[in-house]
């Protein structure tokens, strides 16, 4: 008969993967008992953060960094919705950013203030606001611009590339992530620029 697994009281602070590792080091388990182990752990496991119906954990802005010990980690990956009041709120069926594994995918940022009002002006002014929004979202995930692996820049007019690039280079400094820049027919709110990013969170793993 397979042993009944009793989880430690701090189960919410450790990943299921770690608990499995701990149990396997002290109990000789058969295939049946391993199955029972996993069943019991899923039944008793309490995520450290609140999950919605899709299993996505909602980032709690009271923490300095997202808590990665969610049930999704048990299946080999996890997903976190990133939300911060320091950047424009999502106004449709999307999120400011999503953490998947050790990568952060941001939605495109346009020159809106955090309160949703539009910043008007030339490409330099708009790019400055866009990068400020992008920085706020990335920092809400516990990372920084220095962790950006790839950006995509959407311009209404490629003739604005030089002015946009000057502001962009100043924001990123010596860090030079991969980048694509394209001209598009039109952007939301008829703005001049939109930027999205993919960010590495690898150093945040424990």
Which residue, among 100, 126, 101, has the nearest Cα to 195 in the 3D structure?
126
Domain 57-204 has CATH 3.30.1330.40: yes
Write down the pLDDT at residue 39: 60
Residue 22 has pLDDT above 60, yes or no: no
Statement: residue 17 has pLDDT above 60: no
> What pLDDT is recorded for position 37?
55
The per-residue pLDDT for range 145-194, each reduced to its tens digit, is 999 999 999 999 999 999 999 999 999 999 999 999 999 999 999 999 99
C-alpha radius of gyration, the chain, whole number: 21
Q: Within 64-203, where are the H helices? A: 123-140, 161-172
- 75 has a pLDDT exceeding 80: no
pTM for this entry: 0.65
pLDDT at 161: 98
Q: Per-domain residue ranges for the chain?
A: 11-44, 57-204
pLDDT digits (tens, 9 = 90+) for 36-63: 655 655 555 444 334 444 444 444 443 3
Q: 104: closest CA among 83, 131, 132, 73?
A: 83
Asked whether the beta carbons of 75 and 38 are under 8 A apart, the reply is no
Rounded to the nearest integer, the mean pLDDT of the chain is 77
How far does CA 77 lie from the centroid of its chain? 13
Identify whether the C-beta of residue 49 lies closer than 8 Å to the C-beta of residue 58. yes
Instruction: Check residue 106 and give its pLDDT.
Output: 98
Contact 7, 44 (CB under 8 A): yes
């Amino acid at each position: 008969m397979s042993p009944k697994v009793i989880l430690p009281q701090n189960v919410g602070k450790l990943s299921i993967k770690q608990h499995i590792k701990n149990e396997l080091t002290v109990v000789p388990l058969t295939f049946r008992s391993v199955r029972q182990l996993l069943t019991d752990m899923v039944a008793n496991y309490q995520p450290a953060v609140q999950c919605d119906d899709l299993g996505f954990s909602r980032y709690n802005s009271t923490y300095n960094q997202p808590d990665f010990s969610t049930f999704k980690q048990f299946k080999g990956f996890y997903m976190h919705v990133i939300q911060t009041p320091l950047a424009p709120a999502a106004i449709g069926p999307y999120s400011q950013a999503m953490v998947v594994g050790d990568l952060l995918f941001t939605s495109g940022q346009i020159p809106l203030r955090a309160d949703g009002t539009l910043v008007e002006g030339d490409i330099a002014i708009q790019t400055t606001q866009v990068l400020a929004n992008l920085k706020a979202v990335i920092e809400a995930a516990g990372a920084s611009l220095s962790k950006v692996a790839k950006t995509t820049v959407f311009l209404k007019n490629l003739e604005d590339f030089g002015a946009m690039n000057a502001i962009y280079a100043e924001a990123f400094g010596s860090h030079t992530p991969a980048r694509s820049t394209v001209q598009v027919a039109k952007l939301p709110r008829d703005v001049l620029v939109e930027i999205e990013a993919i960010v590495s969170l690898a150093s945040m793993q424990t």
